[in-house]
Amino acid sequence: MRIFSGIQPTGRKHLGNYIGAISQYVSSQERGEGIFCIVDLHAVTVAYEPAELRERLYDTTAILLAAGLDPSRCTIFRQSDVAEHTELTWLLSSVTELGRLQRMHQFRDKELAQRELVSAGLLLYPVLQAADVLAYRAQEVPVGEDQREHLELMRDIARRFNARYGDGQEVLVVPEHRIPAVGARIMDLQDPTRKMSTSGSGESGTVYVLDEPKAIEKKLASAVTDSGSEVRRSPEKPGISNLIEILAAVRDADPAAVEAEFADARYGEFKAAVAQDVVAYLAPVRERYEQLRADVPALEAILDDGAGRARVIASDTLADVRDRMGVGAPRAARAGRPSGAVDTVPG
């Protein structure tokens, strides 16, 4: 089974990213061929600082490695190193409905958040995301709940491409999302009606993967709880429900088991237990990170090797897609040419 996922190199990675996505990437290495892409081209669709983008990309790469992605067992690469992603975006845009892109929740949220330019890139963001996955004919995509809509669009794009150009064949694989049962949507600690994110209620609502233990303890101690005193999940208790979900996720336990264990506990006691386990969960990642992040040439070598492996797969898909769409020379003719012939300028 081929498993693909992408993560943005922007902002600092937080507990939501870690529980909802990164921990799934790590465990997927046991189940199949994992391909993980750090999506720097997605990052340029909103205002950003060019000088910082590469640094953040190294940060994200080092976090993925520190979490347990092993480049000898999976492929880790930088999106912009594999040009097939952008070409496929363009080709797939011809089977993507404009109105659907305009209605996407993330587009509308980000559109409202932009102070200056709402770029065309922001609108095309989900098509690039579809291209990321479809270029590898991946069967499974581990993501958090907030990516569900993007995955549905991606599936529709693949289906529409196959219907229009496939001649009865599944040229592009229609992928399945893999959203975890526990921790698919970790909420902000200060405003548990919003998902945890780098642009949420501020520093105190978001636990970062690289936070010091003291900072994690402080954030959890001041997490918003609800009226009442029972440690129990309920729609009226979003704060406590979120903490139960967090503790269950970091322990790899059932939320019901957490509720049972803390049935007689006070909120303060429960929050201290959550803090302790979150600190223990993230501590090894932070320790490994420091060493990995310090060696930029080693990170570049991993990304470069990953891009080489990714390109082999993506270029094969692209050759099929171009062929089906009638773009460029026929695949059979291209295969027969001596390598390099296409690009050589005679004389």
Which residues are 5's β-sheet partners? 36
Task: Output phi, psi for 16, to 5 deg.
Answer: -65, -50
Output phi, psi for 76, to 5 deg. Answer: -120, 125
Q: Which of 28, 75, 96, 147 binds ligand TYM (CB under 6 A)?
A: 147
Q: Residues 33, 81, 111, 146: which binds ligand TYM (CB under 6 A)?
A: 146
Any contact of residue 178 with ligand TYM (CB under 6 A)? no
Tokens representing 116 are 């200056």
What's the helix, strand, coil split of the chain in %, to 5?
55, 10, 35
Q: Binding segment for ligand TYM among 125-133, 161-169, 225-233, 259-267 (CB under 6 A)?
A: 125-133
Q: Which is nearer to ligand TYM, 41 or 231 (CB)?
A: 41
Comparison of 69 and 323: residue with beta carbon closer to ligand TYM: 69
Q: Is 129 in the site for ligand TYM (CB under 6 A)?
A: yes
Question: 34: helix, coil or strand?
Answer: strand
> 67, 141, 157, 275: which one contacts ligand TYM (CB under 6 A)?
141
Which residue reads 């209605």 in tokens?
Answer: 103
Which CB sits closer to ligand TYM, 7 or 243?
7
CB of 196 or CB of 258, closer to ligand TYM: 196
Instruction: Determine which residue in the list 66, 88, 124, 143 makes contact with ligand TYM, applying CB under 6 A.
Output: 143
Residue nearest to ligand TYM (CB): 20
User: Least separation, in Å, of the C-beta of 132 and ligand TYM?
Assistant: 4
Per-residue DSSP letter, 22? I
Cα separation of 154 and 144, whole Å?
Answer: 15
Told to check if 62 binds ligand TYM by CB under 6 A, we report: no
Q: Rounded to the nearest 5 degrees, what angle is found at the Cα of 14, between the Cα atoms of 12 and 17?
A: 110
Nearer to ligand TYM, 130 or 299 (CB): 130
DSSP characters over 163-220: HHHSTTS-SS---EEE--SSSSSPBPSS-TTSB--TTSS-GGG--BTT--HHHHHHHH
- Report the residue number, 132 or 211, with the smaller CB distance to ligand TYM: 132
Cβ 145 vs Cβ 187: under 8 Å: no
CA separation for the pair 146, 246 (Å, rounded): 17
- In the stretch 5-44, what mask flags binding to ligand TYM with x, by CB under 6 A? xxxx-------xx-xxx-----------------x--x--
Minimum CB–partner distance for residue 55 and ligand TYM (Å): 16
Stretch that binds ligand TYM, among 146-154, 224-232, 319-327, 330-338 (CB under 6 A): 146-154
Of the pair 9, 279, the CB lying nearest ligand TYM is at 9
SS3 77: strand
State the nearest-atom distance from the C-beta of 263 to ligand TYM, in Å.
26
CB-CB contact of 306 with 76 (8 Å)? yes
C-beta closer to ligand TYM: residue 21 or 65: 21
Residue 92 makes CB contacts below 8 A (sequence gap 6+) with 127, 130, 131, 134, 157, 161
Selected range binding ligand TYM among 50-58, 145-153, 236-244, 272-280, rule: CB under 6 A: 145-153
As a dihedral over the C-alpha atoms of residue 3, residue 4, residue 7, residue 13, rounded to 10 degrees, the angle is 10
Encoded one letter per residue, x for contact with ligand TYM by CB under 6 A and - for no contact, window 192-231 reads ---xxx----------------------------------
Cα–Cα distance, 115 to 117 (Å, whole number): 7
Using CB under 6 A as the criterion, which residues of the chain lie in contact with ligand TYM when the complex forms?
A: 5-8, 16-17, 19-21, 39, 42, 129, 132-133, 141, 143-144, 146-147, 150, 184-186, 195-197
